[in-house]
């Protein structure tokens, strides 16, 4: 599929709006993704309001896409609606646990990717914001999310105002394992990461960040152990507060 | 996109094989999905061997797709490869925590949905097996998954040998919230679930299962509180054993 093959993240958007008709048609189509027991364990919060974007922006480390995109979607793992349905139908729901969170997160993420594919096929650009789970607790407050609803993904969407190069990807053999997982030898690692390490942009990135290796940019600057541990704690607290760890 | 709009889960496959060339091309294309820091935090275990399918089958509650599909893919959240790369490049990885598991699970699930879309566009049928996280610990054993690798999705793939009806979906308005989450009123729930409850197949399902309501089939038979709680415990134990909760 051409739109998938040539896909790249789009962070700059024109000021053209996305009509409700188009957005709704795309979200409806996205809901064709597989879902547990056909329960559709997700909700999508649509942000168009400028004041709401201002509130969301710091949650996403003030990345400019949040303010500049016509539409921001926060996709949530949601067992609230099903739980309400069960309670209203003489059934006793038991979805206030970690497995149920994972089931709902899976549904939400399949919907998210389906939506991105459809949006890109419609000429739109998207950016996936991984920051959602870093500050899930604050998103709960801002978006009024009730118990059994936890945000797992944010997508900014708009008409592209840039045409960036496609980033590199690891060779296929690096992430495919036939029948069993084959542990990586030192030689494998050298082979799989050599192309990435050879790119001028990554060499420039090392110089800019004054590290010795590219990997150190990830461990020492971008995704640090102490930050990961702190955010693990707050994300688990959010799961608990939202009723998924009882 | 027609292949998404008309999509349905396919559980019966012809005995036509999927060539390695096609499978690899589709997996490579799927890896164009968004990924955290371009780190591609996933691995895919490809099962074609009949003996391996026999081993996987009980993990997936002996659903016949596992034995009958030419290809079974187990998609794993994987911080092993990146951690090995970091260790080999004088960097100190800090990805043995819950946030890192979530980051890798997100990458893995976006890849999974991308693959399904591509496969379906190529005339193949897929079935998503939610059972993967129910028995993740056993999959770790069977597939030799090392620390920092946890399975999150399984897909069976093959050429369709059935043409089932598309299942119903909730109306769009039931899972979309403008700006804020709007709590569901009793009237909303009645409205959103009435179509599903009116379907003859669901009425038959109630009769067959001798429940009073459709919701009770989910709470009392398919996704029971006690099972969810037990599987929450074992999944968290697997995350711990695989090094994601230290």
**For residues A16-38, average pLDDT:** 98
- Beta carbons within 10 angstroms of residue B62's beta carbon: 9
Residue A181 falls inside a structural domain: no
Question: What integer best gives the mean pLDDT of chain A?
Answer: 97
A212 touches chain B (CB under 8 A): yes
Residue A99 falls inside a structural domain: yes
Residue A204 falls inside a structural domain: no
A93, A181, A219: residue with CB nearest B86: A219
> Using the beta-carbon criterion (under 8 Å), do A133 and B103 form an inter-chain contact?
yes
Distances, alpha carbon A54 to alpha carbons A128, A142, B68, B219, in Å: 18, 11, 52, 40
Residue B122 falls inside a structural domain: yes
> Using the beta-carbon criterion (under 8 Å), do B236 and A98 form an inter-chain contact?
yes
Closest approach of A16 to chain B, Cα-based (Å): 19
Pairwise CA distance, residues B180 & B176, whole Å: 10
> Using the beta-carbon criterion (under 8 Å), do A226 and B42 form an inter-chain contact?
no
B36, B98, B183: residue with CB nearest A130: B36
Q: Look at residue B207 in the predicted model and tell me its pLDDT.
A: 96
Q: Look at residue B198 in the predicted model and tell me its pLDDT.
A: 97
CATH number at residue A22: 3.40.109.10
Pairwise CA distance, residues B189 & B61, whole Å: 32
Residues of chain A with C-beta less than 8 angstroms from the C-beta of B48: 178-179
> Using the beta-carbon criterion (under 8 Å), do A228 and B39 form an inter-chain contact?
no
B181, B219, B229: residue with CB nearest A97: B229
Q: Look at residue A159 in the predicted model and tell me its pLDDT.
A: 98
A37, A90, A113: residue with CB nearest B213: A90
User: Kind of pairing, strands A176-178 and B42-47?
Assistant: parallel
Q: Are A214 and A206 in contact (CB under 8 A)?
A: yes
Pairwise CA distance, residues B86 & B107, whole Å: 19
Residues of chain A with C-beta less than 8 angstroms from the C-beta of B181: 43, 45, 76, 143-146, 149
Residue B178 falls inside a structural domain: no
**For residues A156-185, average pLDDT:** 98
Residues of chain A with C-beta less than 8 angstroms from the C-beta of B218: 37, 39, 82, 86, 91
Asked whether the predicted pLDDT for residue A221 surpasses 90, the reply is yes
Residue A183 falls inside a structural domain: no
Q: From A46, which residue of chain B is nearest by alpha-carbon distance?
A: B178
Between A and B, how many CB-CB pairs are < 8 A? 334
- Per-residue pLDDT tens, chain B, 246 aa: give them: 889 999 999 999 999 999 999 999 999 999 999 999 999 999 999 999 999 999 999 999 999 999 999 999 999 999 999 999 999 999 999 999 999 999 999 999 999 999 999 999 999 999 999 999 999 999 999 999 999 999 999 999 999 999 999 999 999 999 999 999 999 999 999 999 999 999 999 999 999 999 999 999 999 999 999 999 999 999 999 999 999 998
Q: Look at residue A173 in the predicted model and tell me its pLDDT.
A: 98
- Which domain does A39 fall in, by range? 2-165
Q: Look at residue A45 in the predicted model and tell me its pLDDT.
A: 98
Closest approach of B56 to chain A, Cα-based (Å): 11
Residue A124 falls inside a structural domain: yes
Domain count, chain B: 1
Pairwise CA distance, residues B197 & B193, whole Å: 6
Closest approach of A161 to chain B, Cα-based (Å): 19
B5, B32, B116: residue with CB nearest A5: B32
Q: Look at residue A29 in the predicted model and tell me its pLDDT.
A: 98
Confidence tier at A1 by pLDDT (50, 70, 90) = confident
Residue A236 falls inside a structural domain: no
CA B84 remoteness from chain centre: 26
Q: Look at residue B127 in the predicted model and tell me its pLDDT.
A: 98
> Using the beta-carbon criterion (under 8 Å), do A218 and B176 form an inter-chain contact?
no
Closest approach of B158 to chain A, Cα-based (Å): 16
Task: Report ipTM (2 d.p.).
Answer: 0.98
Q: Look at residue B208 in the predicted model and tell me its pLDDT.
A: 95
Distances, alpha carbon B10 to alpha carbons A132, B65, B234, B241, in Å: 33, 9, 29, 34
Exposed/middle/buried for residue B187 (C-beta within 10 Å: 0-12, 13-18, 19+): exposed
User: Kind of pairing, strands A176-178 and A42-47?
Assistant: unpaired
Pairwise CA distance, residues A241 & A199, whole Å: 44
A165 touches chain B (CB under 8 A): no
Q: Which residues contact B157 (CB under 8 A, 6 or more apart)?
A: B13, B18, B23, B69, B70, B71, B72, B73, B119, B124, B125, B126
Asked whether the predicted pLDDT for residue A151 surpasses 90, the reply is yes
B90 touches chain A (CB under 8 A): yes
């Amino acid at each position: 599929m051409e739109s998938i093959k040539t896909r790249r993240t789009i962070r700059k958007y024109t000021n053209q709006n996305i009509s409700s008709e188009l957005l709704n048609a795309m979200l409806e189509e996205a809901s064709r993704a597989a879902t547990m027991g056909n329960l559709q364990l997700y909700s999508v919060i649509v942000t168009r309001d400028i004041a709401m974007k201002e509130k969301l922006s710091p949650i996403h480390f003030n990345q400019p896409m949040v303010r500049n995109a016509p539409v921001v979607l926060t996709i949530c793992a949601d067992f609230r609606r099903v739980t309400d349905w069960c309670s209203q139908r003489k059934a006793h729901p038991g979805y206030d646990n970690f497995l149920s969170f994972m089931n709902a997160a899976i549904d939400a993420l399949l919907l998210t990717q389906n939506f991105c594919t459809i949006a890109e096929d419609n000429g739109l650009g998207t950016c996936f914001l991984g920051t959602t789970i870093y500050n899930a607790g604050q998103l709960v407050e801002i978006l009024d999310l009730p118990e059994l609803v936890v945000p797992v993904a944010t997508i900014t969407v708009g008409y592209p105002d840039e045409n960036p190069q496609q980033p590199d990807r690891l060779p296929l053999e690096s992430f495919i394992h036939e029948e069993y997982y084959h542990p990586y030898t030192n030689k494998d690692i050298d082979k799989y990461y050599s192309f990435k390490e050879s790119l001028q942009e990554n060499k420039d990135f090392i110089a800019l960040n004054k590290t010795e290796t590219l990997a150190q940019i990830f461990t020492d600057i971008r995704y640090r152990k102490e930050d990961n541990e702190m955010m693990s704690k707050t994300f688990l607290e959010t799961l608990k507060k939202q009723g998924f760890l009882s």
